[in-house]
Amino acid sequence: MAHLSLVGINKIYPNGFHAVHDFNLEIDRGEFIVFVGPSGCGKSTTLRMIAGLENISKGDFFINGKRANEMGPRERGVAMVFQSYALYPQMTVYDNLAFGLTLQGVDEDVIDEKVQRAAKILGLTDYLDRMPRALSGGQRQRVAVGRAIIRKVEVFLMDEPLSNLDAKQRVTMRSEITQIHRETGATTIYVTHDQTEAMTMADRIVVMKDGYIQQIGTPRELYFDPVNVFVAGFIGEPPMNFLKDVVKDGTLTFGEVVFDLKEKLGNDAAKYEGKELVFGFRPEGIVLGEREKAYRVPASVELTEMLGDNTNVYVDIADKKAILKVDPHDTPEIDSDIVFSIPFENVYLFDGETERRI
Ligand code: ATP
């Protein structure tokens, strides 16, 4: 049985705004699920409905097969870490961690054992006597996570918990949270707008846009098998390149660049005559120079960004812009003309109207 089931969940706010549409998801015990999408797509609203902080307008939510729509937050056995982690400023790290358990009247020895254990997992043992103001942002964030994991909960909900940290701290905390998840085994739902966080942490990702689920899948599935233009463009950095054209004589044509659709679609190509298609390829899905079983693309180089492990090359293809990711040793000269190849299997085609993958 699924640990958590969301069946046809909708959220309509009192002002009439329909923030979440028909959300369906089954989550297994111990899974690490990430909700990802741009600002305002309904990630936090969905998480808050799971937490019991926001009522469900329509649909059913089940925990271990039991309908939980009307259960209060405590009854649901969930712990939540928010974007803004308010620690009690006048309490030490120890007391911040212990506070929830103290309120519940848990025995002091038991509290001490739990605090020490959480502190050990989070690397806070040396800071237990400190006040929050004497901690770095990353350490404070760890205390906030610690407060949630110290309670024995079955479900761990996190809403952009790393957004207040700098880039380096985010990378560290990312792996710490993954580690904590492994140790506690708690079912976890993690909300972020950062696709890198989603890709590195999730067992499965739910991509959302405008209150609708776009796709649910493993990081691999979303990267290699996106269902539409939105998912294809959202997962991957730099994003996938898109070129749009109407199919004429079985080809998409951009200046002197001609993509013969038969190469990619075989006899199916005929079906798309006169239709608008989106031709997608990832920056890393190309090879410089000529290749067999690939589309040949002449382009001019407008800008290069050497990033160390690779170079982003901004090119112009018949007045359309694209980004290529190349080995830094192969970085072309700015203003030079190059030829690159897109192996047929690295090409993604989408319906220009529905934006769905074909
Ligand atoms: P962010 O990453 O910016 O937090 P999000 O994906 O988490 O975005 P939500 O906070 O779930 O988005 O909000 C979804 C939509 O619902 C937004 O358009 C938001 O303006 C709207 N919304 C949120 N709370 C309310 C409310 N109390 N009343 C009306 N509309 C709301």
The protein residue with its alpha carbon nearest to ligand 1, atom 9, reads 42
CA of 45 to the centre of ligand 1 (A): 6
What's the CA angle centered on 155, arms 150 and 156, to 5 degrees? 60
Domain presence at residue 358: no
Question: Quick one: which atom of ligand 1 is closest to the CA of 42?
Answer: 11
What is the domain extent for residue 189?
4-234
Q: What is the pLDDT of residue 80?
A: 83
SS3 230: helix
Say how far apart CA 185 and CA 181 lie, in whole Å: 5
Extract the tokens encoding 238.
Answer: 């730099």
Is 219 found in the same domain as 256?
no
Distance (angstroms) between ligand 1 centre and the Cα of 135 equals: 31
The answer to the question of residue 157 being in a domain is yes
d(CA 176, CA 168): 13
Question: Do the domain assignments include residue 217?
Answer: yes
Q: How many residues are given for the chain? A: 358
pLDDT given for residue 84 in this prediction: 65
Domain finish residue from 234, 261, 294:
234
- Cα(115) to ligand 1 centroid in Å equals 34
Task: Give, in order, the Cα–Cα distances in Å from 213 to each of 25, 155, 219, 264, 307.
Answer: 10, 21, 15, 29, 34
Same domain, yes or no: 245 and 223: no
Distance 40 CA to ligand 1 centre (A): 5
- Looking at the fold, whether 197 and 339 belong to one and the same domain comes out as no
Give the span between the Cα atoms of 37 and 160, in whole angstroms.
12
Same domain for 75 and 113, yes or no, is: yes
Sign of CA dihedral 332, 335, 338, 342: positive
Residue 218, domain CATH: 3.40.50.300
Nearest CA-CA partner of 172 in 238, 122, 115, 236:
122
Q: What is the CATH number of the domain that holds 295?
A: 2.40.50.140
Distance 41 CA to ligand 1 centre (A): 7
pLDDT at 123: 84
Atom number, ligand 1, closest to the C-alpha of residue 44? 7
Query: What is the helix (H) or strand (E) element at residue 345, kind and residue range?
Result: none
What does each of the 358 residues of the chain score in pLDDT, given as a tens digit? 889 999 999 999 999 999 999 999 999 999 999 999 999 999 999 999 999 999 999 999 999 999 999 999 888 988 888 766 678 889 999 999 999 889 888 899 999 999 998 898 888 999 999 999 999 878 888 898 888 878 777 899 999 888 777 888 788 888 888 988 888 889 999 999 999 999 999 999 999 999 999 999 999 999 999 999 999 999 999 999 999 999 999 999 999 899 999 999 999 999 999 999 999 999 999 999 999 999 999 999 999 999 999 999 999 999 999 999 999 999 999 999 999 999 999 999 999 999 999 9
Number of domains, the chain: 2
Q: Tell me, in angstroms, the distance from the centre of ligand 1 to residue 13's CA.
A: 9
- CA 191 to ligand 1: nearest atom: 7
Both 125 and 173 in one domain: the answer is yes
For atom 31 of ligand 1, the residue with the nearest CA is: 13
Q: Does residue 53 share a domain with residue 121? A: yes
Contact criterion met (CB below 8 Å) for 23 and 6: yes
Which of 189, 218, 234 is the endpoint of a domain? Answer: 234
Residues 209 and 327 occupy one common structural domain: no
Give the model's pLDDT for residue 83.
67
pLDDT at 175: 86
Residue whose CA is closest, atom 27 of ligand 1? Answer: 13
Q: Give residue 82's pLDDT.
A: 73
Assess if residue 356 is contained within a domain. Answer: no
Report field, pTM of the whole predicted structure over 0.95: no
Q: Which of 10, 43, 49, 209 to mutate to test the pocket of ligand 1 (most atoms within 8 A of CB)?
A: 43
Question: Is residue 125, in this structure, part of any structural domain at all?
Answer: yes
Ligand 1 pocket: which of 11, 45, 84, 210 to mutate (most atoms <8 Å of CB)? 45
- The residue whose CA has the least distance to atom 10 of ligand 1 is 44
Q: Are residues 19 and 166 in the same domain?
A: yes
Say if residue 97 is in the same domain as residue 186: yes
Say if CB 278 and CB 228 are below 8 A apart. Answer: no
Q: Is residue 337 one of the residues assigned to a domain?
A: yes
Task: For ligand 1, pick from 15, 35, 41, 162 the residue to mutate: most ligand atoms within 8 Å of CB.
Answer: 41
202 and 305 together in one domain: no
Examine residue 357 and state whether it is found in any structural domain, yes or no.
no
Same domain (yes/no): 209, 347: no
> Are 175 and 68 part of one and the same domain?
yes
- Show which of 234, 269, 293 is a domain's final residue: 234
Measuring from atom 12 of ligand 1, which residue has the nearest CA?
40
Residue 35 lies in a domain: yes
In sequence order, what E strands does the chain have? 4-12, 18-27, 32-36, 58-63, 66-67, 78-81, 155-159, 187-192, 204-209, 212-217, 241-246, 251-254, 257-260, 276-281, 287-288, 294-306, 311-317, 320-326, 337-343, 347-351
Model pLDDT, residue 259: 95
Ligand 1 pocket, CB under 6 A: 13, 15, 17, 19, 37, 39-45, 193
- pLDDT value at residue 134: 92
Contact call for residues 27 and 64 (beta carbons, < 8 A): no
**Distance in Å, CA 25 to ligand 1 centroid:** 20
The alpha carbon of 18 and the centre of ligand 1 are apart by a number of angstroms equal to: 10
Which pLDDT value is given to residue 229? 98
Atom number of ligand 1 nearest to Cα 20: 14
